[in-house]
């Protein structure tokens, strides 16, 4: 099925994942009434249309939307006796354990999960790309931080906040001066670590012993925290929370 032109962005994205998810769904033939002969993943060779193309549909004189039941006759497979290589291959790879059962309805199972049940987490793990775990991930995503603080801290690490230097790089012609001090170009590095406003905030926290040292660059800070802040003591949780909360607060102040 083609994606309708008037579909929403979300619908398009979900429908676009069909090619990834389709091979992960297994159809178990019972009476064959609900399983698509050419399109569903019920045969040992996988979806037959994907493997053999449209020609096999034409050769067998079955509609694209035909059900498996159309090749079952009184409990036996009734593949047409054609000297066609595709049909011969399908017949040869139809093992006895694929035997239909007219007293049972077709069923569907989700391959990635051991219990065959669809669970969102198993779908995510099955289709996502995996990247190396970053040394700072435990600091950012520590369980004690407020999620929105962690999210902003994560975006800062990735340099993905919409600071003015980035906005201008996208073609917006804005005044690129820092919103907090009005004296330098607004970049991630300046906004959070070099800006006179941010420096005052950090210094206050250092004096209160709420951060370990005056930070100069986030990656260095995270590296340092990774070495020094380990465990789940109250002190460790306090330090990581303070870091995330300060970054979040500075970004919020910038947007006021
Ligand atoms: Zn500034």
For residue 10, the Cα-to-chain-centroid distance in whole angstroms is 13
Across the range 170-182, mean pLDDT stands at: 90
Is the predicted pLDDT of residue 145 greater than 80, yes or no? no
pLDDT tier for residue 241 given thresholds of 50, 70 and 90:
confident
**Confidence at residue 26, expressed as pLDDT on a 0 to 100 scale:** 93
For 144, 199, 208, 251, the CA distances from 139, given in Å and listed in that order, are: 10, 22, 21, 19
Q: Within 10 A of 142 (CB to CB), how many other CB atoms are there?
A: 19
When pLDDT is averaged across residues 97-122 and rounded to a whole number, the result is 89
Distance 176 CA to ligand 1 centre (A): 11
CA of 29 from ligand 1 middle (Å) equals: 66
| pLDDT value at residue 1 | 65
Instruction: Please tell me the distance between residue 202's alpha carbon and the centre of ligand 1 in angstroms.
Output: 13
- For the segment 46-56, the average pLDDT, to the nearest whole number, is 87
Share of the chain above pLDDT 70, in %: 98
Please give the distance, rounded to the nearest whole angstrom, from the Cα atom of residue 179 to the centre of ligand 1.
6
> What pTM, to 2 d.p., does this model score?
0.63
| Mean of pLDDT values over 84-98 | 82
Instruction: Name the pLDDT band for 212 (thresholds 50, 70, 90).
Output: low
User: What's the confidence (pLDDT) of residue 254?
Assistant: 94
Residue 50 has pLDDT above 80, yes or no: yes
Average confidence (pLDDT) over 152-181 = 91
What separation in Å is there between the alpha carbon of 198 and the centre of ligand 1?
A: 7
> What spacing in Å lies between the alpha carbon of 167 and ligand 1's midpoint?
16
- Residue 151, token pair as written in the block: 């999210």
Distance 180 CA to ligand 1 centre (A): 5
What is the distance in A from the centroid of ligand 1 to the CA of 181? 4
Alpha carbon distance 79, 99 (integer Å): 13
Question: Quick one: average pLDDT of 125-147?
Answer: 83
Q: What's the gap in Å between 200 CA and the centre of ligand 1?
A: 11
Q: What is the average pLDDT score of the chain?
A: 86
Find the 254 Cα to ligand 1 centroid distance in Å. 9
Report the pLDDT averaged over residues 64-90. 84
Question: CB neighbours of 214 closer than 8 A, spacing ≥ 6?
Answer: 199, 202, 203, 206
Per-residue burial over 16-28, b = 16 or more CB atoms within 10 Å of its CB, e = otherwise? eeeeeeeebbebb
Average pLDDT of the residues in 213-219: 74
Range from 73-77, 185-189, 198-202 carrying the lowest mean pLDDT: 73-77
Residue 131 has pLDDT above 70, yes or no: yes
Rounded distance from Cα 162 to ligand 1 centre (Å): 15
Taking phi first (over 0 means left), then psi (-120 to 50 degrees means alpha), and beta for anything else, what does residue 203 get?
alpha
- Report how far ligand 1's centroid is from the alpha carbon of 251 (Å): 12
Ligand 1 centroid – CA 192 distance (Å): 8
């Amino acid at each position: 099925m083609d994606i309708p032109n008037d579909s929403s962005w979300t619908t398009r994205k979900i429908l676009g994942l069909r090619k990834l998810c389709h091979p992960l769904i297994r159809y178990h033939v019972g009476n064959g009434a609900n399983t698509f002969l050419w399109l569903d993943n019920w045969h040992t060779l996988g979806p037959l249309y994907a493997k053999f193309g449209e020609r096999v549909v034409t050769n067998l004189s079955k509609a694209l939307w035909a059900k498996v039941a159309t090749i079952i006759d009184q409990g036996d497979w009734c593949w047409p006796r054609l000297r066609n290589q595709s049909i011969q291959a399908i017949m040869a790879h139809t093992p006895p354990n694929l035997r239909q059962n007219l007293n049972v309805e077709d069923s569907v199972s989700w391959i990635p999960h051991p219990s065959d049940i669809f669970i969102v987490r198993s779908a995510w793990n099955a289709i996502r790309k995996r990247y190396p775990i970053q040394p700072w991930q435990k600091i950012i995503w520590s369980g004690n931080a407020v999620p929105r603080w962690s999210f902003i801290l994560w975006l800062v690490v990735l340099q993905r906040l919409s600071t003015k230097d980035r906005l201008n790089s996208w073609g917006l012609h804005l005044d690129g001066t820092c919103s907090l001090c009005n004296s330098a170009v607004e970049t991630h590095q300046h906004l959070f670590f070099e800006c006179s406003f941010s420096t005052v905030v950090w210094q206050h926290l250092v004096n209160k012993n709420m951060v370990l040292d005056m930070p100069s660059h986030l990656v260095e800070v995270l590296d340092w925290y990774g070495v020094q802040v380990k465990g789940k003591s109250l002190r460790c949780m306090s330090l990581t929370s303070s870091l995330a909360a300060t970054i979040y607060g500075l970004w919020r102040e910038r947007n006021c």
